[in-house]
Amino acid sequence: MNDYQVLVVDDEKEIRDAIEIYLKNEGITVIKAKDGIEAIDKLNEHEIHLIILDVMMPRLDGISTTFKIREQKNIPIIILSAKSEDTDKILGLQVGADDYVTKPFNPLELIARVKSQLRRYVKLGTYDGMEQVIDIRGLTLEPSAKRVTVNGEEVKLTPIEYKICELLMTHAGRVFSIHDIYERVWNEPCYHAENTVAVHIRKIREKIEIDPKNPRYLKVVWGIGYKIEK
């Protein structure tokens, strides 16, 4: 794993330094930041392949940092949270984190989770120029071919339907409001677009779900928006 660079973000120097020791023993290069603002700066300065991110930090906390990172990048994020912060863990996963480790953590568990996420990123991601093929329990998106398949069978989507799937699948687990979906997919301000987005969501469900009324993939989060379930 000598080619990987991991960004470790924690406001406690002792934790940053300890994680650095564990990762360096695995041949992983470590970049460190003490809060979310510094993390985003480091992310723009270095090629980062995974982020370990504490939840409770000054200036910009881990949840807000995850949200900002997910606006631009799809690299793996593992959040660190105390045992008492279950709501933070859930919220972190909802806004786009890939995994979490509870403090105080077992170094062997942390290393195992880092390696697992890096393998997944290399296999399905864009590292070393490879195509970012995304597979979620049989629902697969191939960006270069602009194609979506379900268990190997191609699904015929319109360009708008494909863009919605691409948005939700590249941020699997994250909830997008109707407003967000419309502005990101149509690239124009959202004015009374509820019906427009809902119709496209319904059509996508009819194409990718065995039972559209009880969807396995494309879920509604009532009062908030839609997501592709991880």
Distances (CA, A) of 148 to 116, 133, 204, 207: 25, 10, 11, 10
CB atoms within 10 A of CB 129: 5
- pLDDT for residue 31: 96
- pLDDT for residue 52: 96
Distances (CA, A) of 220 to 65, 66, 177, 178: 24, 22, 10, 11
Q: Mean pLDDT across the stretch 204-214?
A: 94
Percent of the chain residues past pLDDT 90, beyond the cut:
47
- pLDDT for residue 85: 63
- pLDDT for residue 27: 92
Of 9-18, 81-90, 168-177, 210-219, which gets the smallest average pLDDT? 81-90
Q: Are 94 and 175 spatial neighbours (Cβ–Cβ below 8 Å)? A: yes
**The one-letter amino acid at 60:** L
Q: Mean pLDDT across the stretch 28-53?
A: 93
Its sign, for the CA torsion 84, 90, 95, 99, is positive
135-193 pLDDT tens trace: 999 999 988 788 899 998 999 888 888 989 999 999 999 999 999 999 888 877 888 77
- pLDDT for residue 130: 43
- pLDDT for residue 150: 94
CA 137 to chain centre: 16
Eight-class DSSP state of 105:
P
Q: Mean pLDDT across the stretch 73-82?
A: 84
Distances (CA, A) of 163 to 90, 141, 154, 186: 26, 11, 16, 9
- Does the pLDDT of residue 3 top 50, yes or no? yes
- Does the pLDDT of residue 11 top 90, yes or no? yes
- Does the pLDDT of residue 126 top 80, yes or no? no
CB-neighbour burial class of residue 119 (10 A; exposed 0-12, middle 13-18, buried 19+): exposed
Q: Which residue has the tokens 């603002």?
A: 37
Label residue 86 by pLDDT band (50, 70, 90).
low
